[in-house]
A and B are shown apart, each in its own frame.
Chain A
Amino acid sequence: MHELTPGSPSLRALFPALHQEVNGHPLLYFDNAATTHKPTFVIRAITDFYEKDNSNVHRGLHELSARATASFEAARQRIGSFISAPNPDGVIFTRGATEAINLVASAWANSVLQPGDRILLTAMEHHSNIVPWQLLANRARLSIAFAPLTPEGRLDFDELDQLLAPPTRLFAFTHISNVLGTVNPAEKICALAHSRGIATLVDAAQSCGHFPLDMEALNCDFLVLSGHKMCGPTGIGVLAIHPRRFGQISPWQGGGEMIERVTFEGSTYKSLPHLLEAGTPPIASAIALAVACDFLDSIGRDAIRQHDEKLAMLALDLFSRIEGMEIIGPRNSRAGVVSFTLTDVHPHDVVEVANRFGLALRGGHHCAQPLMRVLAKPSTARASFYLYTTEDEVHRTAEILAQVRKFFN
């Protein structure tokens, strides 16, 4: 696969879902921040599992079970290496990024944080990195603060510096905003928090498929991935736990796989990663996610990142020529997510009309209602790119947006 470059026809040929018409136009899929399409390799890995190795894991001595277990555990290793996790035992398979964050709230923060402690979030978080903490804060009498943003939509580092202090015990923040396209300097932030004894959770849902990720370098305590946003299946995600937190993890869900010994009176538990993986896991999806890692590394995450940024800059340039266009978020060094509004046209209507031209945009609050309130907009439209997006598609999108403009004038 080595000669595949982002946006090239040979790369696009690997994604079956791209090659279809919507309302008589070729599909322009610009909703990659919601979920990405899957290359044939990933789809084939799922099929292969069910056609050949299908079996439950960990519990069996027979051939199929041995094969399934070996592939599943190899997937854990592969994902550990993909993010340079310090120890693959800290790589936990979850349903997605949302569940991974809830897991940290229940199995770590719930027992480690004390009443009065503060959890710091940012004003640009996805609901998945807000609501689990609100539920926990209510239960455990913690407080929550939100680090504010600069007018351009970046973290305000002066304010952040103030907030990274007692009673803050945990800073959970997104690597890339799914609305603003802002890229937060995660390594620098984690270093600062760490120097002040504050634990960190990096929500890498938006970066895991787009950016090189190195957990050793980040030195965060928890790292959260979303499989379906990185060419993997739906229903799989990852929580990576830094070994310095292994001893602080309580049992989470109970059931098969996570126990050592069960009696009528009580139970003892296995160590990580099994402690946090009760029940039959999404075996095929975990194996397919490892194939997605192989695929992304064969393209090169640096190349993907550059491709995203180039498209974002092109979109900023082309879109801003449209009358009444307001683009949200930083003007430079940003990810491939471009949110915008058109004066006097509601985002729902933008998306509806775009769809008639085969263009898949997203409109709404993007699961970031608090940010919307900061931006003083009930909603925005959003175009988000990925490694298969072409410059030509961005040009066509700009033309369609101009037609949307016309339709409502």
Chain B
Amino acid sequence: MSARVQAEPFDVGHELSGFGAGAGAIVTFSGLVRDEGGRLLALEIEHYPGMTQKALDAFGNDAAKRFALSDWRIIHRFGRLGAGEQIMMVATAARHRAAAFDAAEYLMDWLKSRAPFWKREITASGPGAWVEARAEDEGALDRWKGTSCNPAD
């Protein structure tokens, strides 16, 4: 039941050790820097330090209530992250798989559209374009409107 914002790498296996004890289903999502066919050297991730931790804590607690999670974790990095590096992870633990999957997808939809992070591409010629928000990501949260805990499963 925790969120962390950090520059350092993290290890999914280490994060999962002891995670979700007693649960029947654990889902993890990891986001990685794609090299886009060799064009991208790294991403530079900026965030809003005063807001990020509070926002992640609030997202996680909201998801825990909505999907009856027994455990959750969010880790999001900032700074310069090379191609292939992990950017972030979420993990969710619940009694059954539908709630664990739904909660992880819900958290990802939140993170993509409501968490104060911004990505810029670093190419061979230096800092490049800021990554634009995808219309699908901005709208992805709409599908959760009116849903709370999903009893199917």
* A-B complex is real: no
Residues of B within 8 A of A (CB): none
Q: CB within 8 Å of B: which residues of A? A: none
